[in-house]
Amino acid sequence: MDGKPATRKGPDFCSLRYGLALIMHFSNFTMITQRVSLSIAIIAMVNSTQQHGLSNASTEGPFADAFNNSSISIKEFDTKATVYQWSPETQGIIFSSINYGIILTLIPSGYLAGIFGAKQMLGAGLLLSSLLTLFTPLAADFGVTLVIVVRTVQGMAQGMAWTGQFTIWAKWAPPLERSKLTTIAGSGSAFGSFIILCVGGLISQVLGWPFIFYIFGSTGCICCLLWFTVIYDDPMQHPCISVREKEHIRSSLPQQPSSPRRAVPIKAMITCLPLWAIFTGFFSHFWLCTIILTYLPTYISTLLHVNIRDSGVLSSLPFIAAASCTILGGQLADFLLSRNHLRLITVRKLFSSLGLLLPSVCAVALPFVASSYVITIILLILIPGTSNLCDSGFIINTLDIAPRYASFLMGISRGFGLIAGIVSSTATGFLISQDLESGWRNVFFLSAAVNMFGLVFYLTLGQTEIQDWAKERTSTTTEDVKLFQT
């Protein structure tokens, strides 16, 4: 797989696989809006005196504080919805609970998707998340404990849905279209963030905060109908696929085992350096992205003395930039492959380099242009945008080196990313609490150093050939650990 593609075939954008990518885009759009709905609604849900003390440490992910700090001021809401007396500490627990749920299911859901099928795992996760979103306003009336439980279970449901996607692409995405298909699907998260940031406050102001949950929960249920109706795990089993498309997918992918019962070669994975190169890339990528997207409103308000809460459109620009760069990067990556301009390994390392190097340059430049509002905003928009070029690099590299275990390994990779986000957020809070100006400078320099470490590690050890332990075997060894047995 490391050599140049032998044949060139243009993509059919009316094909089922691109329809699947759009439905998955809609699914990711729905899940991210459900995940951050509470961050928008919380402004109207709690008393203004309580909300005032909420710090940026109370986050539910890399998007959360952008929403916590960018919505309409509490005094602008005039609805008859219930208001709760939740302290900032309580709000912090509520926000973080969904992350713990995601962590609990990242790895097991990736493996189980290969056992039961990604269609069932992802669809069940999306349906459960949607129903819990609809139930959230009622849960709030019963008490904060039930809200925390609901958010934790919702995180587990979304963890099932996030990682199950790669099992589908292992069977549906031809090598020359993997970047396009996965980035079209993945860009739904950034686009969903953009939409809910723009309209969430308006919904709460006009209809009342419960309707944020009702609207996006109902949207998820509609998406589930599409999902269970249209999506199949294996293109060979889809009743509506054309013979031409079926043959195109079959001929472009290596033969995969038909039996769902598999042993996971844990020891081989642990000693696989190309796999660790991917994990290191995830850690570096999420480190800087989490800092920028979590502390974006704080940085602008404290360093530029601008109240970003009065400009939802400004706050949403990084998300629309991220969505655009994700899709464009995927199109460019597969264009370079289809025209035989670059080898697969070169494309993966090129986009990984751009996705780690360019944001680092922007981050290092930020402290030196703090006096310029326009340049600072441009750099803050460019960081998440250029970071998403990694989606055509190491982010999908597991599909290259181990397609059989893509979802399982994606769960582990995202686990490394979540750990990086937790550590970087904590480190950032500590550094800027010491001294604001020098603290931010140290934050950006440290982030650039982490990115450079991840980049050098991936450039040195990254590969695209299918690893020996990921190939179909006729027998298992004692080194294999059976994680699931029927």
Looking at the domain assignment, is residue 481 inside a domain? Answer: no
pLDDT in tens, 168-216: 887 888 888 888 888 888 888 888 888 887 888 788 888 888 999 999 9
Beta bridge partners of residue 481, listed in sequence order: 264
CA distance 408 to 410: 5
- 241 and 108 in a common domain: yes
Which H/E stretch holds residue 91? helix 88-116
Residue 237 has pLDDT above 90, yes or no: no
Find the radius of gyration of the CA atoms of the chain.
Answer: 22
- 107 and 183 in a common domain: yes
Q: State the burial class of residue 257 (Cβ atoms within 10 Å of its Cβ: 0-12, 13-18, 19+).
A: exposed
pLDDT in tens, 44-54: 788 544 444 43
Looking at the domain assignment, is residue 3 inside a domain? Answer: no
- 336 and 456 in a common domain: yes
Looking at the domain assignment, is residue 374 inside a domain? Answer: yes
Residue 293 has a pLDDT of 66
* pLDDT mean over 3-14: 49
Residue 110 has a pLDDT of 67
- 283 and 218 in a common domain: no
Phi, psi of 481 (to 5 degrees): -110, 115
- 182 and 208 in a common domain: yes
Query: How far separated are the first and last CA of the chain, in Å rounded?
Result: 34
Residue 63 has a pLDDT of 41
- 272 and 222 in a common domain: no
- 150 and 236 in a common domain: yes
CA distance 52 to 265: 51
Range of the domain at 92: 15-50+83-252
Looking at the domain assignment, is residue 73 inside a domain? Answer: no
Looking at the domain assignment, is residue 159 inside a domain? Answer: yes
Looking at the domain assignment, is residue 64 inside a domain? Answer: no
CA distance 421 to 283: 8
Looking at the domain assignment, is residue 151 inside a domain? Answer: yes
* pLDDT mean over 252-276: 76
- 284 and 248 in a common domain: no
- 280 and 151 in a common domain: no
- 236 and 202 in a common domain: yes
* pLDDT mean over 315-322: 80
Residue 484 has a pLDDT of 38
The amino acid that residue 110 corresponds to is G
CATH label of the domain that carries residue 296: 1.20.1250.20
Q: Which of 201, 226, 252 is the last residue of a domain?
A: 252
CA distance 483 to 251: 31
Residue 338 has pLDDT above 60, yes or no: yes
- 275 and 247 in a common domain: no
Task: List b or e across 19-35, with b for residues whose CB sees 16 or more CB atoms inside 10 angstroms.
Answer: ebbebbbbbbbbbbbbb
Task: Tell if the pTM clears 0.75, that is, is over it.
Answer: no
Number of structural domains, the chain?
2
Residue 256: pLDDT band with limits 50, 70, 90: low
- 456 and 413 in a common domain: yes
Looking at the domain assignment, is residue 216 inside a domain? Answer: yes
